[in-house]
Copies of this chain bind each other. A is one copy, B any other.
């Protein structure tokens, strides 16, 4: 099934552009080139920057079939709206049983997850890593499926900061750890919908105790992101399948560990070497043979 190619307001604009009066062309080009400002700033503001009359914007909108600038801007705004991920994109679709349908499921899933990774904002990860670098102690909490991510992070960070990293709930009930959180420490909470009470409690405890709170979540409005100093977002529902995807969370966790290690400099490197030497001495690993 092919969509009737409903053109976006921007392409409508560009198509109509050549047949417009000179001044409207200028304004139209300005809008096309600055469509983000067009959706966010006021008409008069744009007019000032474009060196044009405010009325030209109203006339432009009417010239390409809108009732006025407001309507054009609303269309541009909707066109720019970040793609709302529909949870039922892949699963609700009729997927008839067959030998190839499962392969298609896997392929779709992998591709969707691959597409989600580059959309992860890098800057917040770096900032969170700085916070980890400065933290005197690092707590990590994650429950149910997120537990695996928490443990991964715990493992990697411990490779070069063995004494300062701890998984919440390993040495007794969680509550025991919650009371031990102090200012100057950092707490990482991982979770996504549906959110567990436990993860929210850890986040609140972290915030209350004055520690730096880092939330890895699928949504900026997740309850454990409240009060968080750093929120690292990934797309959990972006891939077809039955469980939320964890690849984004894992990628974030690994990037976080990598940058934190990088900030650690020579000291971190040395500790990592020590740890590796110890593991090798215990003959944990199969020796590579030539």
A61 CB-CB contact with B under 8 Å: no
Contact present for A118 and B110 (CB under 8 Å): yes
Contact A5:B250 (CB < 8 A) given known A107-B122, A242-B258, A286-B195? no
Query: A124 CA to B11 CA in the complex, in Å?
Result: 10
Q: Cβ of A254: which chain B residues have Cβ within 8 Å of it? A: 109, 241, 243, 245-247
- Min CB gap A158→B, angstroms: 11
| Chain B, Cβ-Cβ closest to A257 | B243
Contact with B along A1-30 (1 / 0, CB 8 A): 010110110110011011000000000010
Q: Give how many A residues have a beta carbon under 8 Å from the other chain's beta carbons.
A: 106
Contact with B along A88-100 (1 / 0, CB 8 A): 0110000000010
A161 CB-CB contact with B under 8 Å: no
- Min CB gap A216→B, angstroms: 14
Contact present for A220 and B32 (CB under 8 Å): yes
| Chain B, Cβ-Cβ closest to A112 | B117
Contact present for A131 and B81 (CB under 8 Å): no
Contact with B along A113-128 (1 / 0, CB 8 A): 1111110111111110
Contact present for A258 and B229 (CB under 8 Å): no
A277 CB-CB contact with B under 8 Å: no
Query: A141 CA to B131 CA in the complex, in Å?
Result: 34
| Chain B, Cβ-Cβ closest to A200 | B286
User: How many identical chains are in the complex?
Assistant: 2
A164 CB-CB contact with B under 8 Å: no
- Min CB gap A221→B, angstroms: 4
Q: Cβ of A207: which chain B residues have Cβ within 8 Å of it? A: 18
- Min CB gap A264→B, angstroms: 10
Q: Cβ of A145: which chain B residues have Cβ within 8 Å of it? A: 152, 155-156
Q: Cβ of A90: which chain B residues have Cβ within 8 Å of it? A: 122
CB-CB contacts below 8 Å: A266-290 with B: 272, 283-286, 288
Q: List 17 A-B contacts (CB under 8 A).
A: A5-B127, A11-B124, A14-B227, A29-B226, A32-B221, A35-B220, A85-B121, A90-B122, A106-B258, A109-B251, A109-B254, A109-B255, A110-B122, A148-B148, A152-B246, A197-B285, A242-B261
* A interface residues, Cβ below 8 angstroms from B: 2, 4-5, 7-8, 10-11, 14-15, 17-18, 29, 32-33, 35-36, 39-40, 77, 81-83, 85, 89-90, 99, 102-103, 105-107, 109-111, 113-118, 120-127, 129, 131, 144-145, 147-149, 151-152, 155-156, 159, 183-184, 193-198, 200, 204, 207, 210, 212, 219-221, 223, 225-231, 241-243, 245-247, 250-251, 254-255, 257-259, 261-263, 272, 283-286, 288
What 20 new A-B contacts, CB under 8 Å, besides A7-B123, A10-B231, A40-B40?
A2-B183, A14-B225, A17-B226, A35-B220, A39-B40, A40-B77, A85-B121, A102-B129, A105-B255, A106-B122, A110-B117, A110-B251, A113-B251, A114-B115, A145-B155, A223-B286, A242-B258, A243-B258, A245-B254, A247-B251
